[in-house]
């Protein structure tokens, strides 16, 4: 059974991991970079994938 890669989505401001997602083919090798709401910063911030 192949493991499905999980990605942690980390706030670039407070460095907290707020979201999890699975890598999709659409993303490919590119680093995920998203604007998402961070409940710690209480605003939309840049989030990036963080491999463990
Ligand atoms: Zn944050």
Q: Tell how far the Cα of 1 is from the centroid of ligand 1, in angstroms.
A: 35
Q: Tell how far the Cα of 30 is from the centroid of ligand 1, in angstroms.
A: 22
Q: Tell how far the Cα of 42 is from the centroid of ligand 1, in angstroms.
A: 7
| Beta strands, E only, 1-52 | 6-11, 17-22, 33-38, 43-50
Q: Which of 16, 38, 27 is nearest to 6 (CA)?
A: 27
pLDDT of residue 21: 84
Question: pLDDT tens across 7-34, in order?
Answer: 889 999 999 999 988 866 655 566 678 8
Q: Tell how far the Cα of 21 is from the centroid of ligand 1, in angstroms.
A: 17
Q: Tell how far the Cα of 15 is from the centroid of ligand 1, in angstroms.
A: 6
């Amino acid at each position: 059974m192949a493991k499905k890669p999980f990605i942690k989505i980390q706030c670039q401001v407070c460095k907290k991991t707020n979201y999890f997602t699975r890598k999709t083919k659409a993303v490919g090798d590119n680093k995920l970079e998203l604007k998402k709401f961070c409940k710690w910063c209480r605003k939309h911030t840049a989030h990036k994938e963080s491999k463990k």
